[in-house]
Amino acid sequence: MRTPIIFSEKCLNYGTWHIEGPQRVGLAHEFLLERGYNFTEPEPASENDLLRAHDGDYLWNLKKGLVEDPDTPAYDNVYEFARLSAGGALLAAKTSGFSLMRPPGHHAGVFGSALGVYTRGFCYLNNIAIAVKALGKATLILDIDGHHGNGTQEVFQGDPKVVYVSLHRHPHYPGTGFSSEGNCLNFPLPGDIGEKRYLETLDKALGMVAAERFAALAVSAGFDTYAGDLASLGLTDESYAEIGKRIARLSKPTFFVLEGGYMGEKVGRAIDHLLLGYEGTS
Ligand SMILES: [Zn+2]
């Protein structure tokens, strides 16, 4: 069975001038449509869903349009866009799907900016954290975005039900994730390290985790590791297929939530390869 893609055109209606703009997701959507995927529309996450991962005062400020930093503008109605993206992650968790929504989430911590980092890195609500909290199961989170998910680490640091594994470029934004801390296993990698060393590191990381402990696998699926993208690790379409195969080998109910990836159609191609590898058809 093909992995359902969670998508709403509404997520394309803000931020046209920003690098985290509608084109990156819009072009990926068009590519995946042509490839014959099935699409489902999400509902916005409820405030109760959001409160499992975020502080109430932070949510109030976000709703009032008071959350802003140089990376992360206070767009009109950004709370509603962020709530719908979080709803995409919730639906992905329910349907073992892939949420192709924006804004991304993994830099957003309990109070917005996370682990002492000044900006929120294009993120408002931590979509994957909200979905993992709603599941309430022992969950392994694998973050393959090229940036460290400081927000996700902050939300789950010390949580006995969750292990967070991140491979990311370092030194690079946000500057966190240089070493592992408790249940958060961090694998910093030099820029453009290439597929071979990336996959060796991924195998090592997954080998350190007792997969049988977990009832679910949540993947923070960022594609800015693609050669030439914002946090390039020199990966190609085939690299994502290889990552997908490794995810499949864990044999867990799995869902995926889009994080970064800024090269439009290449994001679509990378998603397609990841899912082909995952579904065993590549
Ligand atoms: Zn990123």
pLDDT in tens, 87-137: 999 999 999 999 999 999 999 999 999 999 999 999 999 999 999 999 999
Among residues 270, 209, 210, 204, the alpha carbon closest in space to that of 242 is found at 270
Q: How far is the CA of 180 from the centre of ligand 1 (A)?
A: 19
Which pLDDT does position 282 carry in this prediction?
A: 56
Give yes or no: 170 in active site: no
CA of 165 to the centre of ligand 1 (A): 15
**How high is the pLDDT of residue 1?**
73
**Quick one: tokens of 79?**
């709370």
Please give the DSSP secondary-structure letter assigned to residue 229.
S
Non-local CB neighbours of 248 within 8 Å, separated by 6+ positions:
277, 278, 279, 280
Residue 281, pLDDT > 90, answer no
Three-state DSSP class for residue 208: coil
Rounded to the nearest angstrom, the distance between the alpha carbon of 52 and the centre of ligand 1 is: 23
The catalytic residue among 29, 107, 147, 168 is 107
pTM over 0.95: yes
Rounded to the nearest angstrom, the distance between the alpha carbon of 212 and the centre of ligand 1 is: 29
